[in-house]
Structure 1
Amino acid sequence: MSEYKLTLKGIHHVYGNKADDETEAIKHIDLNVRDGEFLAIVGASGCGKSTLLNIMCGMIEPSEGEVLIDGDSISSGKHRIGYISQTDTLLPWRKIESNVALGLEIEGISKKERLEQARKMIALSGMEGFEKKYPHELSGGMRKRAVIIRALVQNPDIIFMDEPFGPLDVFTRETLQKEILKMWGERKNTIIYITHDIAEAITLADRIVLLSRRPSIVKNEYKVDLPRPRVIEECKYNPVFLELEKQIWHDIKDELQEEV
């Protein structure tokens, strides 16, 4: 068993096949993520955050380098991976309980067992009473909550989240951030979280990685020394929060100025 849950070794990625059309997205990234760690990745728009996340979860094969989970190649197919994207990925013709149970259905779990597990997770997330509703009958925040518990119900080794709350209003975002922290606190899945929101990264994460402008390298890492469990409404007034937010914003601003 590896010391780390996830390891990136020499990740380099280029889009395009011909030299004239090539775009170097990621230059050279080595990264280790501990079991149960909540890691946030931030960076200026277009710096390659989503590309890196998609390489981490096996959706993109890097031009060079390898991704390991528990010391084994991600291509081995041994690992349970959860993925939550920016878009609404619920199936509109399925009721919420069937949407939440979809991954278990693909795994071959019996209908009775998968629906029982789905209903337990729905109740845990505060959505009890919405099991028989269809996605169009729910608010945007409730649909996103269903997407999150669909990923969690399979108890994956790692959950990858790509700016999952981007289009939501600030109040709904805070509610869902609380849900994420509550569920993560109970299960301690490893989470890799992409966000453009520095405050969100500090509120949620144990550690933050800042990517440089394209081609991306790891420009800096920051340990988030805020006690857990965290009260979202209070975090933003903590001096540690304010100082870290200022430091990360300063480093990102440097990237933007260099690009100009």
Structure 2
Amino acid sequence: MKKNKLELKGIHHIYGGEKQTEAIRHIDIEVKDGEFLAIVGASGCGKSTLLNIMCGMIEPTEGEVKIDGEPVRSNKHKIGYISQTDTLLPWRKIESNVALGLEIEKIPKKERLERAREMMRVSGLEGFEKMYPFELSGGMRKRAVIIRALIQNPDIIFMDEPFGPLDVFTRETLQKEILRMWTERKNTIVYITHDIAEAITLADRIVLLSRRPSVIKNEYIVDIERPRIIEECKYNPKFLELEKEIWNDIKDELTEEEVD
């Protein structure tokens, strides 16, 4: 039986200020080593807040987060983080962007660039090493961000709706890339998305959050065989059944405007 990689116990968070807002209410989650967990919920339900608490960017009002049994703020873990926004440094060439984490680790320049070029080769970015971010398409830039997070072989990778602004064809291409890299490396991944179909396509397990203040409304095991073929997955009867179940559960959490 796999051990827990990530543990959240009693997470409760209130945003301060003149008018306090209770964002998250007593959430417990355990994520196994090598598991792909997706977290879904209505817009504004606190998905990103919870993710930022998980990776140590936000200190919760109450509760604790542990990776491999150690507090997330102990700085003993390699954490990968992929946000919604384009985080490539515009003044750096793509190979230098990909190698940034290795540079911070003080890996010698020759070695880190060799590793970056190899990651770019297997990810379909060969030939673009010397280009700058503005010279690449949105999908290619996002691919560079993904391999930058993976190149350090992190203990766990947090992804916050990384494909939100991309068109459907680019999204599917990058979903394939995520699945391929995860299958090879088996990093633990926590993936935030508002897209139920994307969650089912990628994840082993899905957690549904309620509206704010967020609690766990339901959990679902994605019982679809791997490896998964993106184009065929959505026609699988298990996919359709699970999508209907999650949609019925999430409808109560949506406003009339969101349903329309």
TM-score bin (small chain): over 0.9
Show structure 2 runs of 5+ residues with no match.
none
Match of 2:25 in 1: 27
CA contact (8 A) 1:67 1:74 kept: yes
TM-score by length of 1: 0.97
Corresponding letter in the other structure for 1:225: D
State the distance in 1 between where 2:198 and 2:255 align. Answer: 23
SS in 2 for 1:227: coil
Pairing of 1:1-260 with structure 2 (within 5 A): 3-18=3-18, 21-256=19-254
State the 1:254 CA deviation.
1.5
State the 1:17 CA deviation.
4.5
SS in 1 for 2:206: strand
SS in 1 for 2:227: coil
State the 1:258 CA deviation.
10
State the distance in 2 between where 1:144 and 1:64 align. Answer: 34
State the 1:75 CA deviation.
1.1
SS in 2 for 1:249: helix
State the distance in 1 between where 2:118 and 2:138 align. Answer: 21
Corresponding letter in the other structure for 1:88: D
Q: Deviation digits for residues 187-232 of structure 1, max 9, x if unmatched?
A: 0000000000000000000000000000001110000001000000
State the 1:171 CA deviation.
0.2
Q: Deviation digits for residues 47-91 of structure 1, max 9, x if unmatched?
A: 000000000000000000000000000111000000000000000
State the 1:256 CA deviation.
2.2
CA contact (8 A) 1:80 1:157 kept: yes
State the distance in 2 between where 1:163 and 1:55 align. Answer: 16
Show structure 1 runs of 5+ residues with no match.
none
SS in 2 for 1:256: coil
State the 1:3 CA deviation.
2.7
State the 1:126 CA deviation.
1.1
State the distance in 2 between where 1:221 and 1:186 align. Answer: 26
SS in 2 for 1:255: coil
SS in 2 for 1:250: helix
The structure 1 segments of at least 4 consecutive aligned residues displaced by more than 2 Å after TM superposition are 256-260
SS in 2 for 1:5: strand
State the distance in 2 between where 1:26 and 1:258 align. Answer: 23
Corresponding letter in the other structure for 1:133: M
State the distance in 2 between where 1:259 and 1:36 align. Answer: 38
State the distance in 2 between where 1:141 and 1:17 align. Answer: 38
Q: CA RMSD in A?
A: 1.4
Corresponding letter in the other structure for 1:147: V
CA contact (8 A) 1:67 1:73 kept: yes
TM-score by length of 2: 0.97
SS in 1 for 2:177: helix
CA contact (8 A) 1:12 1:62 kept: yes
Corresponding letter in the other structure for 1:37: E
State the 1:257 CA deviation.
6.0
Corresponding letter in the other structure for 2:144: A
Q: Deviation digits for residues 118-151 of structure 1, max 9, x if unmatched?
A: 1111011011111111101100000000000000
